[in-house]
Every structure is written in C-alpha cells, then in structure tokens.
Structure 1
Amino acid sequence: MTEAARAVSLRAGVPVYRYRITPGGPPVSVLRLDAHHQPGEVHRHIHDFPVLVYVERAGRLETGVPPVQARDGDAYVLAAGAVIDPAQVAGVGSAFAVFFDSAALVGDGQASWQSHPLLFPFLHGIRGGLLRLHVPPERQPAWSGAIAAIERELADRGAGYRQAALAHLTLLLVNVARLATDVVGDLRRSNETLLAEVFDVIQRRFAEPLSLRDVAASVGVTPGYLTTVVRRRTGRTVVDWITEHRMVRARRLLSETDRPVQEIARQVGLPDPAYFTRVFRANNGVTPREWRREA
C-alpha cells in the first residue's frame, strides 16, 4: 500500500485504508510495481478510494483466481470497498498503481460518485474487486505518457502541479470509462440510481443536521438497506459520506478564506466548535487551525 493511504479502521479483521489528505498534498499518487520497485509485504485489505492499475509490460504476471496471464496494456479497476487479496497477483511485470482522492476531481463538497460519472467503473462490484480491461495497442503509449506526466508533476511540484496532475488523471479516467462502457451502463441501470439520490441529498443538506435516518427517509428505503447498499458499493457508510462532504468543504474554507473556525463549523453542519474540531482532527490528523496554518 502506498504512503498516500492510511489505515483508518478494521472490517471483519481486514484493514480499511483511506487516501491520506494533507494540507497542500497531492490529490493523486503513483506507485511503481516492478522487479526493482516492489512494495512491502501486503496483506488482504480494503480501500475506500479509487485505484487504477496499469500493466505496461506483463512479463510473467498472472492475475485472478484461477490465475490468467496478464497482457501488455491490461488495466485493472479496483473496486472501492471490496476486499483485495494480493494472492490474486503472482509473478513479475512492470505496472503502475494510480491512487487518487475522488473529492479532488469535483471539489467544493460535491458528491464524488454522483457528480463525476467517470468514477462509476470503480463501483463495479465484481467478485474479487478486480475489473480487468484491455487498452488497445495504439492507445498504450498515451496511457504510459499520462502516468509519466503525473509522476513528473508530483516530482517537480511546480506552479499549478495539482491541477496539471489532475488533468492527466482525468484523461486516464475518460479512457477507463470508454473501455468500461458496458459496466457503466449496467451500474446506471441497476441500484446506482439510488446512490445518485443519496449523494444528491447529502450534497444539498450536509450543511444542516443530517442523519442516516434522514437520508433513508428522503430516498424511500430503510436505514439498514441503505447502509448495506452504500457500504457495498463505496466502502463507506452514509454517515461517513456526510462527514466526508463536510470535511471537503471545511478544508476548502480553511485554505481559501479567513473566516473564523466557528463560522466554518456552522457552515458545514457542525455548529459546536469543539465537536467540529474533534471530527476534523479525527479525519485529517490535525486541528482546523493547524490545517489553515500549514496550508
């Protein structure tokens, strides 16, 4: 697992990782996976953010159960919320894992999954969490170039590097969505319409008192059923998403305005400044004032 991720909880004994948000930190990270850059020992894990793996040179790489020989240009869309078992991958090839914070693609506290259709492939729900796509040979240099460009932006950290890195990432996601047309269509025809409604409610009402029961009532299902659907598809609970929207908005206000912390707390639906500070620190690792100072 990359340094951009941190374990935040356990689910049935399996660690759940979240993308590490830091003041001014990169919204996307790239991890090389080859004979010279092997990550440390990795166990079964869950991540609640999107991950894209691109195989540039397959070598002796095999994936899946039963194992299937990977090909140059294979791309794996890892489902958020699924248990990923490294035992599904064996052998050595040359690949890249692209990790990113979905909220960075839309900003301003909008609902990532609902507002950004390019992320629908990462909710595929396929057993094992791996959706295997294949990049046509004529497109493979563009994929390698986009990933290399992200790496350069992250290494140089020049003016506007975050925006540049996200632009290259967006091009990759456009290609993923085009390759996964059937998957995206299936999601839109299934209960992903419920997810869209859920995120619409959260987006409109996160600045007011809002609970799981409130969201469930708004979309016409029971709280238990809604919890199951949202967790299965996104790796988080409804309350997690409410908090996430509040934190995205709070981080933006702290970084881009000089409004008092108490006012920001009210604007994101947590009017008690002390409670807001506890929630912010638990989700971001620093207090609101520390975030503003570091940003």
Structure 2
Amino acid sequence: QSRDQIRYTSGKKVEGGKIQHIIFSKELAEKGIDNILDVFIRDSENPLLANIIVVDGSPLEMLNMSREYKDKPRLGVYLANLIRDARRHTATPESRIYNFTILQYSETIDPVASYMRFDEIGVNIEGSALFNRNKMVGNINLIETSLLHALMGERIQFGYYIDAHSIQDESGSGKRGVTIFLHRVKRKVKTYVNGTSPEINISLDFKGIVNETDLNYRLDQSKDKKTLEDKISILIKQDCIKLLKYLQEIGSDPIGFGEIIRAKHNEYFKSVSWKSIYPDVKFDIDVKLNFEFYGATN
C-alpha cells in the first residue's frame, strides 16, 4: 500500500524490494493455493523465481519472531541461505513459482515445496511439502527428500547413516554404525501395462563414499566391501519402498510416473484416470551401491 501511494507522487518507478519467497501456512496449503498464486502471477512485476515455502505454523508469527533472531540475518536473506544450502545437499526441492504453477495443473506430475518449522531459536528446513495438484497432502523429512530426488533421477548429494542394529549379524551399542555419502545415482524405469494396474520397475545405481565406520568390515577386502554394499543396498531399497507407498497413500505423484505412463503407453493412459489407479500401481525396485572411496583403514 505504501509503495503504491508513493508511486502516485513520484515521477519515477518505485519498488519496495525484491520478493524472494511466498510463504504459506500448512493449514492454508492443505486448502489449496492455486487462487493465491494465480493473483500473484497476473502482475508482471512479480518475479516468477520466488521460492514456494510451506511453514508449520503461522507465517506472520514466524516473521514477528524472526526479529528476535539476533545472530541471524534478515528473514528474507536467512531463508534464501537456508534453501540454497539445503538444495545443494538435495534436502529440499527446487520449487519456484514458475514450475509450481505449471505442475499444479498437470494431471501427470504433482508439485513439491520446501517445508519448514520455526521456534525462538531459528528456522529449520524439515524436508518437502507434498501436493496433490494444488493442495498439500503430506510431507517428508530430509533423507526422504533426498531419496525422492534419486527416484526422480535427479542429482543427489546427501549423507546416509546406518546403525549397527539395522545390519544383519551386527550387534552392540546403538552408537555403532556407518555413515556414507551418496553423491551420484543412475536411474532406469521400465513400465508394463498388461493388466488392469500398471507395473513399474525402478533400478537405482548409487555411487557413494564411506565417511566413517566402526563396524567389523575390512573395506580393503573386496568380499567385506561387497557384503556391506549389499546390506546397505537392501536398507536403501526398504526406505524407497516405504516412500513410494506413502506417496500412493496420500495421492501425490511428484516423481511423474503418470507422465512416464502417458508417454510410453498413451492409449492405455487415455483409457484410465491416472489419479484413480495410481494407488494400485505395483512397484519393484532394484538398488545397487558401489563405494568409490573409503579412506584409510586400520
């Protein structure tokens, strides 16, 4: 309002700053945000590169509370830095107005957005907000977001921790385990529509680095190295299956399986309602892991 009032008395174009983020409360996002975004993009002066953010709580409360963050920069800069670093480690998605508004009207790919929480200390990125078209229907954590990027066939770069109890034949303190860094993945997707429900086979070939381990495996011995790779591959597969089941339960398809079916089996796609059959799609996942580097061993 102040900006518009100044415009009426100024002989030059007046701007009130750069819009970097559009922040929605979780409650509002669950009701649908298409109408709000539609109004926003109709003004040609509004940037289409602004980030879409969903916050657990009130955005106004977050703005007011941010004034007490004495060791943090201004909220706009603070959020931009958080999102940039999180995207570098594939912990939150690349979600901007231009691609979000396109996907929310797509029948084959659903949009995602950054999901955050805040308190008196600061703001935390929690992962991703998942949408079914224009309505938020769920959310996933940081590791699940990174696995989502892998399932999308996109760039990955994230740490993955496995405690000793999760690996067969390993016991002892819960503090024991192995930390790996996954930095590359190659995805292959095959689809079949012979029956009433499509079958989708996904192959994920991960490349990683062992950052730290205190398990009883000699990584300089090929047999031990292969055994550990296979065991961790099974755990990653289980996490991917769990994530896919959750996506089916909430009716969100951010990976774009509907688009793959539409492109490869167009006649079948035209004969069904993708959103109706998506929960019944059968998935089969094959995960392979190769440690490219594991550092010094004792």
The TM-score, its normalising length taken from structure 2, stands at: 0.25
Higher helix share: 1
Larger radius of gyration: 2
The TM-score, its normalising length taken from structure 1, stands at: 0.26
